Amino acid sequence: MQIRQATAADATLLHRFIIELATYERERDAVEVTPAILAKQLADDRPPFEALIAETDRPIGFALFVTSYSTWLGKPGLWLEDLYVTPEARGRGYGRALLAALAERAHARGCGRLEWAVLDWNTPAQGFYRTLGARPVDGWTRWRLTGDSLTALGAE
């Protein structure tokens, strides 16, 4: 298996993985991004995200992440937005390898944290993350502004 950094040439592949993940998470209709948008973003001088791709004889998964910052630690962090391994490749250590590669990058960049969110109903993912030593952050609930609410607040 090889893990490599995604480039603009991987936009169609990333889009396919995003669609597959959204379908698994029961949110297929929420995906608005297109391969063209992903390609343009990855080609930017300062892309809004990075991604790692896991491959054997074919691509089998990805981890898409962004840089965050902890004011308490005074250090950058990495936020894992999406982790996905194709169904036929699950259970073979590929997800662990993607997260290990991401943890290596976090360490090399001086990050104090690697964080992500997990759907409440996704107990297989929760179990997997626990095997890595990860734990949920109790006492915090994720909040979000989108669409009209985001626009309205920004217009004030």
Render pLDDT for 71-84 as a digit per residue (tens, 0 to 9): 999 999 999 999 99
The domain of 25 spans: 2-154
pLDDT of 150 above 90: yes
- Domain CATH code at residue 10: 3.40.630.30
Please enumerate in sequence order all residues whose Cβ is within 8 A of that of 128, keeping only pairs 6 or more positions apart, or say none: 95, 96
Which tokens belong to 98?
């993607």
pLDDT of amino acid 4: 98
Q: Is 24 an annotated catalytic residue?
A: no
113 three-state secondary structure: strand
Q: Is the pTM of this model over 0.85?
A: yes
Reduced to 3 states (helix: H, G, I; strand: E, B; else coil), residue 78 is strand
* Catalytic site residue from 24, 84, 94, 129: 129
Q: What is the pLDDT of residues 83-141, one digit of tens each?
A: 999 999 999 999 999 999 999 999 999 999 999 999 999 999 999 999 999 999 999 98
CA dist 91 → 23, 30, 85, 95, 103 (Å): 19, 27, 9, 8, 20
Per-residue pLDDT tens digits for 6-60: 999 999 999 999 999 999 999 999 999 999 999 999 999 999 999 999 999 999 9
Residue from 125, 123, 105 nearest 114 by CA: 105
Domain count across the chain = 1
